[in-house]
Structure 1
Amino acid sequence: MSESLSQLLKSHKEKQSDIKRHNEQLKKNAIHATNTLTDSITEYVNEGVTEIFSRQKELEQQSRKLANQTTKYANQTQQWLTLVDNFNMSLKELGDVKNWAEIMEHDMKTVMATLEFVHQGTIDGAGPIE
């Protein structure tokens, strides 16, 4: 009977050892699966974060480009406004020159008419009027 008790104890210890080894293997498998899952999730999240940073960088570049173009167009618009103002001023000056020329023409006609009148009076022998 002592042999059978010793054999039962030995068998029990072997089963305990097998169960312990099996549990250790299950624990290792669970840790490996958890690490694999964590790595996969981290990689997935990192890809998303990398894409977000990439898009943010692209948006910042586009924003700077748009700001530069806006400044360029604002400067060009200001130059056009200056040209239009100068053109309007030139048109006004031309109108003033035209008006001046018309006045001068009228004055010259008056002077010519007066000279012709004086000349006609001289030719007819009346002499100058005193």
Structure 2
Amino acid sequence: MSAHGDVDLGHTVAGWVGTAVAFVGLGVLALAVVVVSLPLAVLGAGIGVFAGLVTWSLHLAGWGKPTGPRPAGEWSWRVRDLAARRGHPDCLGCRMAGRRVSAATAPVSPAPATRPAPAVVAP
């Protein structure tokens, strides 16, 4: 068990890459504030927009995750989401890309594995 417990934190390639690019954009924006440079500020904002586009494209390519928790076997950030090509139900990014899937027609993923409650032992 990790320090965060037994939960799906959603670490994905799309999330890590998008965060790294956005961090660079914020660094450029911070530098623009320090040196009072409008071109640097525009560059930093452009990098921020680029971070969103990179994250979105990686999500559509299957390197993100669908909305909601995933089965425990898919929690690793290296697992590719094969259902992304069809689109995810209730996903704004998929709807913006024209991948419209209603919740009623979406394939049902298996229920996450649950652990049995620990037995209480009286002293």
Q: How does the TM-score come out when normalised to structure 1?
A: 0.23
**TM-score scaled by structure 2?**
0.24
Which has the greater radius of gyration? Answer: 1
